[in-house]
Structure 1
Amino acid sequence: MYALTESAIRSSLVNASVRERKALSLPLGYAELRWEEMDFLGWRDPKLPQVGYLVIPHDDTDVGIMLRLGGRQPRTRPQCSFCQDVHLPNEVSFYSAKLAGAAGRKGDTVGILMCSRFECSANVRTRPSAIFAGDDPEAVRQQRIATLRRHLNGFARRILVH
């Protein structure tokens, strides 16, 4: 991913009001982000802990998505819909997002299970588990990165379709 300015982040949000865009707080450590190791930008708002944001590179543009953390979290650790990791100890939570445009304004939403702290880019780059013992580790890593990007793009399309 390439570095995004604060202005680019705010203007990318497709399912947020002008007020919500203005209220957005950038992620902690924004100035030190390692953009080259990220497939998307994701964070929880430091001022609004139930709100999160994703910015996904999609079709030569950036699709920013405002998320709401679901009230009840699963009792068992579910699989993240993006990185599909089931072995790492990070938490997976339910998030909902309003659709873009008129559908979102009338209340239509989609839900997704994803890593609570948006660790997916790091997860797909970790050393592959023992089930891939006979495979080339770098090939497995590249396949996992490609799968993550495909899932991110699919989610962005779901939000944009109205």
Structure 2
Amino acid sequence: MRSLTEQDIRNSFINCSKGEAKRLTVPRDLGERPWDELDFLGWRDPGAPDRSYLVTERDDRLVGVALRFQAAQRGFLHRSMCSLCLTTHPGGGVTLMTARKAGAAGREGNSVGLYMCTDLACSLYVRGGKVPESGGRFEESLTMEEQIARTTGNLSAFIDKLYA
């Protein structure tokens, strides 16, 4: 992914108003992000514990998505799998994130949900740059490039549903 500026991020959102995009908290460490290892930029809003955001490149343009989730704690023995990168996490490491649909459907209250890594670090998990609390990922016969393609394909399918 190419490096992004705060203005790039704010202008990319498809499922919130310009005013909401202007008020959301953008990460302060944009200059320090490992852009070459990211398929999308994802972050949690420190001021709003039920909100997260992600921005990805799609068809040579940026697409930003505002997400909401229920901050529910699960027991440490409970394990869940992210639908994007297929990483398993104990406890609250995977959360059902919901996004309002784009356009009129979103204004009518329609939304789409997907189970995702709560920290939105899928790109780093797939590449081995970050290890989940559980100690690792399942061994796969797919190459890393194929796993990356699967993750970006899963994200693309989720974004398609926001436009539908």
- Asked if these proteins are the same fold (TM beyond 0.5), I'd say yes
1:126, 1:141 within 8 Å by CA — same for their partners in 2?
Answer: no
**CA positional deviation for 1:31:** 2.3
2:73, 2:92 within 8 Å by CA — same for their partners in 1?
Answer: no
Give structure 2 stretches of 5+ with no counterpart. Answer: 130-135
C-alpha distance in 2 between matches for 1:125 and 1:101: 34
Greater per-residue helix proportion? 1
1:63 maps to 63
C-alpha distance in 2 between matches for 1:60 and 1:42: 18
2:155 maps to 152
**CA positional deviation for 1:74:** 5.5
Tell me the matched-pair count. 156
Give structure 1 stretches of 5+ with no counterpart. Answer: none
C-alpha distance in 2 between matches for 1:158 and 1:130: 28
2:37 maps to 37
Instruction: Give SS of 1:78's match.
Output: strand
Instruction: Give SS of 1:103's match.
Output: helix
| Aligned ranges 1:61-100 → 2 under 5 Å | 61-72=61-72, 76-86=78-88, 91-100=93-102
Instruction: Give SS of 1:114's match.
Output: strand
2:144 maps to 141
Output the TM-score relative to the length of structure 1. 0.86
C-alpha distance in 1 between matches for 2:46 and 2:137: 33
C-alpha distance in 2 between matches for 1:151 and 1:130: 18
Q: Which amino acid aligns with 1:37?
A: E
2:40, 2:56 within 8 Å by CA — same for their partners in 1?
Answer: yes
**CA positional deviation for 1:3:** 0.9
Runs of 4+, deviation exceeding 4 Å: 87-90, 127-130
1:38-77 deviation line (CA, Å, top 9, x unaligned): 0001001122121110112112211100000125456522
Instruction: Give SS of 2:57's match.
Output: strand
C-alpha distance in 1 between matches for 2:34 and 2:26: 15
Instruction: Give SS of 1:95's match.
Output: strand
Q: Percent identity?
A: 39
**CA positional deviation for 1:18:** 2.0
Please report the RMSD computed on the Cα atoms of aligned residues, expressed in angstroms: 2.3
C-alpha distance in 1 between matches for 2:128 and 2:91: 13
Which range is displaced more, 99-108 or 23-32? 23-32
Q: Which amino acid aligns with 1:108?
A: N
Q: Which amino acid aligns with 1:35?
A: W
1:18 maps to 18
1:111-160 deviation line (CA, Å, top 9, x unaligned): 1110000110011112996744xx5xxx6211111111111111111112
Greater per-residue strand proportion? 2
1:5 maps to 5
